[in-house]
Structure 1
Amino acid sequence: MVEPVSYEQIVAARAVLDPVMRRTPVIASRVLSERCGRQVFLKCENLQRTGSFKPRGAYYRISRLSPDEGARGVVAASAGNHAQGVAWAASELGISSTVFMPDGAPLPKVAATRAYGADVRFAGDSVDDALVAAHEFADRTGAVLIHPFDHADIVSGQGTVGLEILEQIPDVATIVVPTGGGGLIAGIAAAVAAVRPEVRVVGVQAEQAAAWPASLAAGAPVPLDGMSTMADGIAVGRPGEVPFRHVSTQVDRIVTVTEEELSRAVLLCLERAKLVVEPAGAAAVAALATGMPTEPGPVCAVLSGGNVDPLLVTHLVTHGLRAAGRYLGVTVTIPDRPGGLVAMLEIVRDAGASVVDVIHSRTAGTLDLDEVEVFLTAETRGPQHRRELLDALVAAGYRTQVTT
């Protein structure tokens, strides 16, 4: 049977990590507090070294290797955050590292992992595929596998996040944690259970990569058949054995969020908190923003990472604006005569919306000879304003069909 991680192990990890890890800030979120009816704080692990919580566990695990193990080097598998954590920690400790990443790993994460000193190799389409390759490499070369979540030292290192939260928010009642393989939530839950067992710990998974609900129902880790989510940092097909011991007994519940909710959460962090957070790192915010019930008392949402491709940020912001009802995509049929387009755009102007894009087409088969189809994308202030703009177009006699 897998032994649980003790409070003493987490405290020991903290003694090692304090000189090298940042004590990340906790900031209040007014917008989430208003939505939840509770005081909500954000634990900003996106501001940790390498941009996520991962170096905590990686550094502690590698620091405990024997001289002989260190001489053989370490190997890891990751979509990016654990990769960077291992690469940085290994370099700090003077140990060579090899990291296997999925073929579709975000390019900035690949570049950062190499910059921290790792030899990056690619294997498969998922973290699970990369992990198989890492195991094979370890067996072949003698390198020590630094698992992303399924090891007591990893869980102990991540548990230091829980110790900090308890000190920074002494009266915290609920801690909401992005959850993939389970190392972070297991560590936080172990720390909290030892000091303040009444505090609720809630895990959040991407709906399209949620291995925990089925595993908890089965009483053991169960692999998913497949995953498809923008939240690559928590896209793990099978929970770890060590985390499972803690999550099954110390975590209040696991909830899921949709892709739209994740994109809106990324946008909320950017607009309202002025924080760059990746989709996986914003999972806790997504759950709270959609009305997840919490216990009375302060709530802490862990922002687990901020390593997001700048090109993806543009896509995420657009996706988030659409999901929040702040983009209207509509096909409008207008008269094919001089001034026809201007007249339609004046309605958009008078409604207080901003035109993002206009495509003018005469080729649709449903058009009469004196008609033109316009594909309009407009930015609005929200769902109500979006409806007002549509109503104004219809009231002016235009045929409309909403596309987004």
Structure 2
Amino acid sequence: MHATDLDVARIERATRLIAPVFLRSPQFFEEQLCSALGRRVLTKVETLNPLRSFKGRGVDLLAREFSPGTDLVCSSTGNFGQAMGYAATRHGMSAHVFVPTGTNPVKMRRMVAMGARVHEVEGDRFKQEARRFADQDPNRVFVEDGEHPRVAEGAGTIGVELLETEGIDTIVLPVGDGALITGVARWTKEHAPHIRVVGVCATGAASMVDSWKAGRAVSTEVADTFAEGIAINRPIAASVERMRVLVDDMVVVGDADMLDAMRLVLETVGVLPEPAGAAGIAALRVHDLPGATVATVITGANAPTALFPDVLTLGTSTSQSVS
């Protein structure tokens, strides 16, 4: 019923292969957060690693399939590019990351620090330019986040860890290119099929929601959201196909909802997520999702510093809800 090209045996094996620094991230019930959201919320924090995001799991697993000396090439808005730089350096390869001009400067600096060679491209042609660059040399391999099954299977190790906590009714996850939710859902539907898996997109970048509903990749002209980690306007067909099989529901949240969720997570959990990283919390705050006990993941903490003043200006609804 839930068969896809994602393999549960490979997900299990990934728990032993992926660099330990990305595994066993903390997950716990934070009581003030649970009170604010009106239910038991298992929160998994995927930001306490060298990348400040979950992306290292899938890319570290993928990198093992290539020989030392390979040039890995990708397009990214930041976190995937960091992971590529880190994994390439660790496994004796190089990484070229193509990004749109104006990419979050925090992520830009961190990609370079991780060893990636960053190429800025005007407009929205950065993915096409990455592919063109990869095609120029047989030693270069283009890797697309959300397409290669190893990336999703690496992310699926998060599902292995979540299910170690019993009693979960629903898992709520941010959706960018879909690697995280499909990997986690593949493991979950195999081992606890009663758990509902719900994806969250930005209101201004709802192409993955539209695609999931239509059963095919549906593109939009632009992605209008400050949450670059889920700012998708051209979904990957393979990822949409997996989501149609594995994901039970999809919802959207606005930028203001994510900003409010960032404040709430900072107040309660004590980490400052980036907007996409707080999308699951935002969905629990604004949607009547099912489940007395739910799980979500703080997926990234590379927020642009320009957002800090807005986050630190606490809204009255947030303060009252956790007082």
Q: What corresponds to 1:334 in structure 2? A: none
Residues 197-206 or 129-138, more deviating: 129-138
C-alpha distance in structure 2 between counterparts of 1:196 and 1:3, whole Å: 17
Q: What corresponds to 2:305 in structure 1? A: 310
Q: What corresponds to 1:188 in structure 2? A: 184
| Distance apart, 1:118 and its partner CA | 1.0
If you compute each CA radius of gyration, which structure gives the higher value, 1 or 2? 1
Work out whether 1:250 is the aligned partner of 2:246: yes
C-alpha distance in structure 2 between counterparts of 1:76 and 1:214, whole Å: 25
| Distance apart, 1:216 and its partner CA | 2.0
Amino acid paired to 2:5: P
Matches within 5 A, 1:73-88: 73-88=71-86
Whether the 8 Å CA contact 1:266–1:317 is kept in 2: the answer is no
Aligned match of 1:166 in 152, 163, 166? 163
For the residue of structure 2 that corresponds to 1:209, the secondary structure is coil
Amino acid paired to 1:307: N
Post-superposition Cα deviations, 1:189-247, rounded to whole Å, max 9, x if no partner, equal 00101111111111011111111221123211111121111101111112223322221
Aligned match of 1:175 in 171, 177, 188? 171
**Structure 1 residues 241, 291: closer, same or farther in 2, change over 3 A?**
closer
Q: What corresponds to 1:150 in structure 2? A: 147
For the residue of structure 2 that corresponds to 1:141, the secondary structure is coil
C-alpha distance in structure 2 between counterparts of 1:271 and 1:133, whole Å: 41
| Distance apart, 1:57 and its partner CA | 0.9
C-alpha distance in structure 1 between counterparts of 2:223 and 2:128, whole Å: 17
Post-superposition Cα deviations, 1:324-351, rounded to whole Å, max 9, x if no partner, equal 568xxxxxxxxxxxxxxxxxxxxxxxxx
| Distance apart, 1:309 and its partner CA | 2.0
Matches within 5 A, 1:2-401: 4-17=5-18, 19-65=20-66, 67=67, 70-126=68-124, 129-142=125-138, 143-167=140-164, 169-296=165-292, 298-318=293-313, 321=315, 324=316
Amino acid paired to 1:224: T
Amino acid paired to 2:202: A
**Structure 1 residues 203, 51: closer, same or farther in 2, change over 3 A?**
same
**Structure 1 residues 3, 189: closer, same or farther in 2, change over 3 A?**
closer
For the residue of structure 2 that corresponds to 1:50, the secondary structure is coil
| Distance apart, 1:130 and its partner CA | 1.9
Whether the 8 Å CA contact 1:281–1:302 is kept in 2: the answer is yes
TM-score, scaled relative to structure 1: 0.75
C-alpha distance in structure 1 between counterparts of 2:262 and 2:54, whole Å: 18
| Distance apart, 1:14 and its partner CA | 2.1
For the residue of structure 2 that corresponds to 1:233, the secondary structure is helix
Amino acid paired to 1:62: A
Whether the 8 Å CA contact 2:10–2:153 is kept in 1: the answer is yes
C-alpha distance in structure 2 between counterparts of 1:115 and 1:36, whole Å: 37
For the residue of structure 2 that corresponds to 1:187, the secondary structure is helix
Identity of aligned residues (%): 32
Residues 285-294 or 192-201, more deviating: 285-294
C-alpha distance in structure 1 between counterparts of 2:76 and 2:283, whole Å: 25
C-alpha distance in structure 2 between counterparts of 1:5 and 1:210, whole Å: 24
For the residue of structure 2 that corresponds to 1:122, the secondary structure is strand
C-alpha distance in structure 2 between counterparts of 1:177 and 1:203, whole Å: 5
**Structure 1 residues 3, 246: closer, same or farther in 2, change over 3 A?**
closer
Q: 4+ runs of 1 displaced by more than 6 Å?
A: none
**Structure 1 residues 312, 125: closer, same or farther in 2, change over 3 A?**
farther
C-alpha distance in structure 2 between counterparts of 1:98 and 1:135, whole Å: 11
Whether the 8 Å CA contact 2:77–2:103 is kept in 1: the answer is yes
| Distance apart, 1:291 and its partner CA | 4.2
Post-superposition Cα deviations, 1:58-108, rounded to whole Å, max 9, x if no partner, equal 11111111x3xx423111111110010110111111111111111011111
Structure 1 unmatched runs, 5+: 327-380, 384-404
TM-score, scaled relative to structure 2: 0.92
For the residue of structure 2 that corresponds to 1:201, the secondary structure is strand
* Count of equivalent residues: 318
Q: What corresponds to 1:364 in structure 2? A: none
| Distance apart, 1:257 and its partner CA | 0.5
